[in-house]
Structure 1
Amino acid sequence: MVLSGCVGLPTDTDPQSLRSFEASSQAEEDLGPEEGQQPDLLLRDFYRASASPTANHSQARAYLTPPAAERWDSGTSTLIVDRLDITTQAGATSQERTFDIRGNVIGTLRDGGSYIPENGAYEATVEMELVDGEWRVSSLPSGVVMERTDLRNNYEPHNLYFFDTTERVLVGDRRWIFAGEKRLDTVLISMLMQGPSERVAPAVSTVPPSQAEFIGASEGVYRFSGLEEADAQSRGQFAAQLTWTLAMANVPTPYTYEAGGMPLIESRPQVVPDDFAELNPRVGMTAATPLYALTDGRIYEISSNQATPVDGPLGTAGNLESADLTAEGTAAAVREDGETSTLVITAGEGSVEEVLTANTISRPSFEFDPNAAWVVLNGEDVVRVVRSESTDEVAQLPVDTSSLEDLEGEVSMLRLSRSGSYAAMLIDGRVYVGVVSRPSAGSRAIVNVQEIAAELSGTALAVDWQPDGSLLVGTSALETPVWRVEQDGSSVSALSSANITAPVVSVSASPNTMYATDARAALQLPTGGSENVIWREVPGLQGVRSVAIVAN
């Protein structure tokens, strides 16, 4: 019979295997197939075993006939499906069987462990035969296919850290690494030396010189070459990247780096994360964040369970539609002016300055730099509003959104990540994430846009970043109004629906609390709570329908 396998995927992706960063010498117990196992159950176990990449998928090859094990090219692609449906074709005999395999492709794992969300169909044909009284797979498509649960059970997500293009903040590049790796530290460093993933590359700069190489680790020392000509600043930045990549993966401190037999940083033979505290990616996950609220068109500060109007026009306006605030107290707000909307920003001493007017203006979103905020005008044009530190003048700069031209619908919401390197957008009720590139000093562009959380089926009404880098999404879905979505789209999970009523029109999150405005009130839920936790009204906002705003 002719082997067939087809996958309905976008043509601009190029799935690759993960073998380039595997430790091929890593030993792993070879479980193998059970004796006398029925063919359909053995086939399911084969797919589970395929999740282990060690020794060229040797565990999975034990389920194949010797010729099939030799022919199977497991390196062509790694597809992630929601689940696999296995059905026996007609014509089965006591010696041979053919199975139809179907599933929905939700993602691919590319070279280096990057997860790319997809939305397509998987169909394949697998043949099995009886060999010495045991069923074995005799013919199958190339590549690895695993269910989402097997990805979660066998791989762990970790961030590599690269500097953004301004070299002021570290940007996480999420990778999936096989959980059986015995030397996670050297795997992470090797991947870091290979540079950022193709998707994230436009948003970051690579600090180590191109000729730098990771020699290896021994006796607790990580050794590098090719850094002889690097200046002290470059060496320090490289050490910061290494340190936070290892620290966020819970690799024990302190760290010793050597380049050419000398300490990477001359004055610090050993380093710890506190040596680079100003670059701490955990700041957003641990720092106290001021809480504000938009109620009756005014901005209130929430403190000690009390709501107090902020000083100045924003606390008395009465016609504000949306707002964003920074931890430093800078505010940008959209004011309703009859049939149009006006963007205003704080201008010092409690005053505000009118910046621009349009038919509709989305909720503002600040960059890492509190002097720059983004808005969407009339659902189409993304504008970056920047206040000059030297002249105090405000400039309006268009953001290149040509990557969105093929997407149908208006951009109803845009939220920048804490680093300002990722942009989450709602377009026609769907969730998209792109990266922010910097073609020149004053210009920005949203590139490499991908839809994540296709499961929400166009019901999304609100989106915002959580401090851990995931997304919080409010929807119009009656049974599941609020969702958590991982930044790379690898996981989409419904949060507690107890005591919350769709539609959820606003969401935000602090390190300890998630906030949502449903059909009745502003509610809060502790992060990490169980499924039975109840959403409760935000103290200080009881009895009024408000929008909670977490300052970043």
Structure 2
Amino acid sequence: MRRLRILSAGMAAAALLTACTTLPTNTEPQALRSFEPQVVEQSDLGPEEGQEPDLLLRDFYTASAHPTQDYQAARSFLTPEAAERWNPSESVLVVDRIDLVTQPGSTVGQHSFSVRGAVVGRLAAGGSYEPENGVYEATIEMVRENGEWRISALPAGVVLERTELRNQFQPHRVFFTAPSGQALISDRRWIYSGQQGLDTALITLMMEGPSPVLAPAVDPLLPPEATFAGIVDGAYQFTGFTDVDVEARRLFSAQLVWTLAVANIPEPYTVLVDGVPLSPGYERLTTDDFADFNPLINTNAIIPLFALTDGVVRRVADEQVLPVEGELGSLENIESVDITADGEVAAVQKNGIGPDSSVLLAGTLEGGLDEALRAETISRPTFEVDSRSQWVVVDGDTIVRVVYSGPSGEFSRSTVDSSELDGLEGDISVLRLSHSGARVAMIINGRVHVGVVQRVGPADKRIVNVRELAPQLGGTALSLDWQPDGSLLVGTSTPETPIWRAEQDGSAVTSLPSGNITAPVVAVAATPSMIYLTDANAVLQLPGTGGDNVFWREVAGLQGVRSALVAAY
């Protein structure tokens, strides 16, 4: 389990109060200080004349959210000696809020403040957000020089209030290709809003590689000598691609194009490698050239919906419930089901109790279903990007990967290495793979955990970098699923806040309108335009755009019926 991390600081240093590991050094987001000539200068962030010490200290923390010119604005609040000593790159902590209390013994010429805040996360190298739980405590010394208060001693590192992170930084997605070469994996990064040349910052981050948390899910695509050389006459220039083959160039182009396009940087993109086009015929790249890698789901796209009601699967369309074709539509006692956009099906059928009472059936909507696995309990299946492969939890603690072999018509089974979960108590009640297959979300003993999927062999997978995503939910989580934008939808047993949205990187966990929801929320699903849940009474929906809607409506065709909806991607 994640242990409480408590950070304290004396006059000029920070140290942990507990025996937990310290925050790593040199964790300043690299995107914040790159290409400084292109950053918009802030001229009104310095101290005000005659400012009281407590107000000046608060303004210092506000100015610390602006990293331009090596935190020049924040340094203006320090004495010259302290400004020279202060090392802001030690760490970038994010706290819920900053509380200041004057310490005893302060005089008209000297003040000491105790600074305290609940640590909720930190910005690591490259602007990636990493959740933390702990308490920040520091002592700040201030002196009066020439009638003006200035900070004379403070710990190394930067401390940001969560509101300042959101006000001064923007999350962007940098894309990397999955080892299968079939999908793009998003890596969420926070970049300073005053940073001009956003395309340059994003490409620099992309060339530096994935964040440490995501790295195990990404295979190296380019050699170390591959370098971004900047923008010349509107063309993105790269060097060191001599040994990069055609397929690697194609995958690199896909991640480059979609990284820029998702950040709303206008296409087409002229890309030159060692002075020539990246590939013959690809002088100017557009998203149309790499449509198969599109990480965005069209908000107007029609996502097939299915409902599991009283053990029977039905299709939901045109405000009515219709029979499902194939063998699936004739089966009863279905406990859970997952269905892909191309019609692949995985369903768990329950027949009585006992060691082999649950059966995993796999096949297609149009064809038949075959038995893939038997156990006492089997969780709801979840598909990889390759829909021939699916994961389930057997008997609450063993994660099994089931792969269908087309030529032989047989299923192979392997156990996913989940040894990183060994320290967590309780069964895995829910398991969901992300749309890219690079991440996995789980509910373990009512708590939400996420991990990264590492491929350790052709048929072997391992779950690594496991962390609790929304600790404030405690042990109340009952259901979860990934949303199209990469965030998580979480249903709970809490009457006051039954439904939550959790960002992929843990930077925010937000309760959604509870309106007329009656807890518990036992099932959730989402399309690009709508959120669905099953509460104690019915299946409800709310537009994903939110707006002024606070009340959830019953799903047309399922009024008065308690079902679990499945969105087929």
Q: For the superposition of Structure 1 and Structure 2, which TM-score range results when normalised by the shorter chain?
A: over 0.9
SS in structure 1 at match of 2:61: helix
Q: CA deviation at 1:58?
A: 0.8
The aligned residue for residue 212 of structure 2 is 198
Unaligned residue ranges in structure 1 (runs of 5+)? none
Residue 102 to residue 155, structure 1, CA distance change in 2 (3 Å): same
Q: Which structure 2 residues correspond to residues 303-322 of structure 1 after superposition, within 5 A?
A: 303-322=317-336
State which of 326, 334, 342 in structure 1 corresponds to 2:359.
Answer: 342
State which of 403, 409, 415 in structure 2 corresponds to 1:386.
Answer: 403
The aligned residue for residue 4 of structure 2 is none
Tell whether 2:167 aligns with 1:153.
yes
Can you list the C-alpha shifts for 1:85-117, whole angstroms capped at 9, x where unaligned? 111112222111111111111111111111111
SS in structure 2 at match of 1:283: coil
Q: Is the 8 A contact 2:454 2:461 kept in 1?
A: yes
CA distance in 2 between counterparts of 1:15 and 1:400 reads: 31
Can you list the C-alpha shifts for 1:151-187, whole angstroms capped at 9, x where unaligned? 1111111111111111111111111111111111111
The aligned residue for residue 181 of structure 2 is 167
Q: CA deviation at 1:6?
A: 4.3
State which of 497, 502, 524 in structure 1 corresponds to 2:541.
Answer: 524
SS in structure 1 at match of 2:417: coil
Residue 385 to residue 543, structure 1, CA distance change in 2 (3 Å): same
CA distance in 2 between counterparts of 1:199 and 1:542 reads: 43
CA distance in 2 between counterparts of 1:19 and 1:305 reads: 48
Once structures 1 and 2 are overlaid, which stretch shifts more, 483-492 or 131-140?
131-140
Tell whether 2:41 aligns with 1:28.
yes
Q: CA deviation at 1:390?
A: 2.0
Q: CA deviation at 1:124?
A: 1.1
State which of 121, 127, 130 in structure 1 corresponds to 2:144.
Answer: 130
Residue 260 to residue 397, structure 1, CA distance change in 2 (3 Å): same
Q: Which structure 2 residues correspond to residues 465-484 of structure 1 after superposition, within 5 A?
A: 465-484=482-501
Residue 54 to residue 201, structure 1, CA distance change in 2 (3 Å): same
Q: Is the 8 A contact 1:193 1:214 kept in 2?
A: yes
- Residue 17 of structure 1 aligns with an amino acid whose one-letter code is T
Q: CA deviation at 1:292?
A: 0.5
The aligned residue for residue 238 of structure 2 is 224
The aligned residue for residue 18 of structure 1 is 28
SS in structure 2 at match of 1:112: helix
The aligned residue for residue 524 of structure 2 is 507
Q: Which structure 2 residues correspond to residues 66-145 of structure 1 after superposition, within 5 A?
A: 66-145=80-159
Q: CA deviation at 1:410?
A: 1.5
CA distance in 1 between counterparts of 2:429 and 2:372 reads: 20
CA distance in 1 between counterparts of 2:119 and 2:499 reads: 24
CA distance in 1 between counterparts of 2:493 and 2:390 reads: 28
Once structures 1 and 2 are overlaid, which stretch shifts more, 490-499 or 401-410?
401-410
Once structures 1 and 2 are overlaid, which stretch shifts more, 210-219 or 276-285?
276-285
Tell whether 2:322 aligns with 1:296.
no
Q: Which structure 2 residues correspond to residues 335-484 of structure 1 after superposition, within 5 A?
A: 335-339=349-353, 340-346=357-363, 349-484=366-501
Once structures 1 and 2 are overlaid, which stretch shifts more, 346-355 or 240-249?
346-355
Once structures 1 and 2 are overlaid, which stretch shifts more, 222-231 or 245-254?
222-231
State which of 274, 283, 286 in structure 2 corresponds to 1:272.
Answer: 286
Q: Which structure 2 residues correspond to residues 479-494 of structure 1 after superposition, within 5 A?
A: 479-494=496-511
- Residue 323 of structure 1 aligns with an amino acid whose one-letter code is V
Q: Is the 8 A contact 2:344 2:363 kept in 1?
A: yes
Q: Is the 8 A contact 2:15 2:22 kept in 1?
A: no
Q: CA deviation at 1:431?
A: 1.1
Q: Is the 8 A contact 2:327 2:365 kept in 1?
A: no
Can you list the C-alpha shifts for 1:226-259, whole angstroms capped at 9, x where unaligned? 1123232222222212111111111111100111
- Residue 330 of structure 1 aligns with an amino acid whose one-letter code is E
The aligned residue for residue 6 of structure 2 is none
Unaligned residue ranges in structure 2 (runs of 5+)? 1-9
Q: Is the 8 A contact 2:29 2:124 kept in 1?
A: no
CA distance in 1 between counterparts of 2:506 and 2:566 reads: 25
The aligned residue for residue 47 of structure 1 is 61
SS in structure 1 at match of 2:414: strand
Q: TM-score, normalised by structure 2?
A: 0.94
Q: CA deviation at 1:17?
A: 3.1
- Residue 273 of structure 2 aligns with an amino acid whose one-letter code is A
Residue 522 to residue 350, structure 1, CA distance change in 2 (3 Å): same
SS in structure 1 at match of 2:156: coil
Tell whether 2:190 aligns with 1:180.
no
SS in structure 2 at match of 1:239: helix
Q: CA deviation at 1:14?
A: 2.4
> Structure 1 vs Structure 2: percent identity of aligned residues?
51
CA RMSD of aligned residues (A): 1.7
State which of 500, 513, 516 in structure 2 corresponds to 1:496.
Answer: 513
CA distance in 1 between counterparts of 2:52 and 2:22 reads: 39
Q: TM-score, normalised by structure 1?
A: 0.96
CA distance in 2 between counterparts of 1:444 and 1:18 reads: 32
Once structures 1 and 2 are overlaid, which stretch shifts more, 393-402 or 307-316?
307-316
Q: CA deviation at 1:316?
A: 3.5
Residue 47 to residue 222, structure 1, CA distance change in 2 (3 Å): same
Residue 347 to residue 159, structure 1, CA distance change in 2 (3 Å): closer
Q: Is the 8 A contact 2:16 2:22 kept in 1?
A: no
Can you list the C-alpha shifts for 1:418-452, whole angstroms capped at 9, x where unaligned? 11111011111111111111101111111111111
- Residue 20 of structure 1 aligns with an amino acid whose one-letter code is Q
